[in-house]
Amino acid sequence: MNVDRATSLPIDSARFEQVRHEWLWITTRPPVDPARFETVKREAETLVAAGRWVSGPADMLSVLRRHRDELTHSRLIAWLLVPTNRHGLGRAVLTGFLDALWPEEQLMRIGPVTADLEVPASGIDVVGEEHEARADIVLRSGGMTIVIENKVDAGEGWRQAERLYWSWTWGAVDTRWVLLTPTGRPAESAVSNEARAAWHTMSYRQFRDIMKAAIERAEPTTSIGRATANQYLETLTRHLAQP
């Protein structure tokens, strides 16, 4: 029996030969077959030319590398929540959105709806302190206002939810507050009892499901607006609708 001088351990010659042959078989390159190579190359070119060999992103926001841009998402969400915009989904997304947050109420079922972005406001809290804040999306219909704070990757600013609450608590308007995030987490920057009670939360997965249901129920169309909605649905599914 052979012995390894470094370790004084016996060497299994048969096993060593087996491993050596296996390694040689793995590392030995087969002879080059130029004819086969040209055949495979032509097949690959045919697939590429026919658009059947594809890679990379497919949805528009991913192509543009805007799939995690907060303002881009806010613009599309605001567009979808207005019933008369060219997505052709009517009130379905808006109604699904509101029903998920306030299921016992019939909100914004009739009348015009507007959506504005990056809206500043200011107000005074119960102890007389003035607050200023900018809302990502503001929905208005009749006597109701809904303030939506949209967070994709960024965290909340210093007392941001608190400041948004007091900045929009004024007059006789019925105002609601919604924090939209990938996970549906609570508004951690709301510190007063009033603000904590006022904020509702929604995840991007919930919003995606609302969109998906609205599109499935809607009358089929090949319009550009519906294609845009479908593109955005794909973006949410791929990047923000966490399980």
| Alpha helices for the chain (secondary structure H) | 13-27, 34-49, 60-63, 70-81, 92-101, 160-167, 193-198, 204-217, 224-235
Q: At 43, which amino acid appears?
A: E
Paired sense of beta strands 130-141 and 174-181, if any: unpaired
Distance of CA 212 to the CA centre of its chain: 13
The three-state secondary structure class of 114 is strand
Task: Convert 79-116 to b/e letters by CB count within 10 Å (16 or more is b).
Answer: bbbbbebebbbebbbbbbbbeebeeeeebbeeeebebe
Count helices and strands in the chain by DSSP H and E runs: 9, 5
C-beta separation of 58 from 234 below 8 A: yes
Q: Which of 110, 190, 121 is nearest to 156 (CA)?
A: 190
Q: Facing residues of 115 across strands? A: 139
C-beta separation of 188 from 196 below 8 A: no
* pLDDT score at 172: 64
Digit-by-digit pLDDT tens for the chain (243 residues) are 555 555 555 656 777 778 877 887 777 777 777 888 888 889 888 888 888 888 888 889 999 999 999 999 999 999 999 999 999 999 999 999 999 999 999 999 999 999 999 999 998 888 878 889 999 999 999 889 999 999 999 999 999 999 999 999 977 689 999 999 999 999 999 999 999 999 999 999 999 999 999 999 999 999 999 999 999 999 999 998 866
Distance of CA 78 to the CA centre of its chain: 15
Rounded to whole angstroms, the Cα distance separating 80 from 93 reads 7
3-state SS track over 84-112: CCCCCCCCHHHHHHHHHHCCCCCCCCCCC
* pLDDT score at 25: 75
The two three-digit tokens of residue 78, written as one number: 């605001």
Rounded to whole angstroms, the Cα distance separating 85 from 21 reads 70
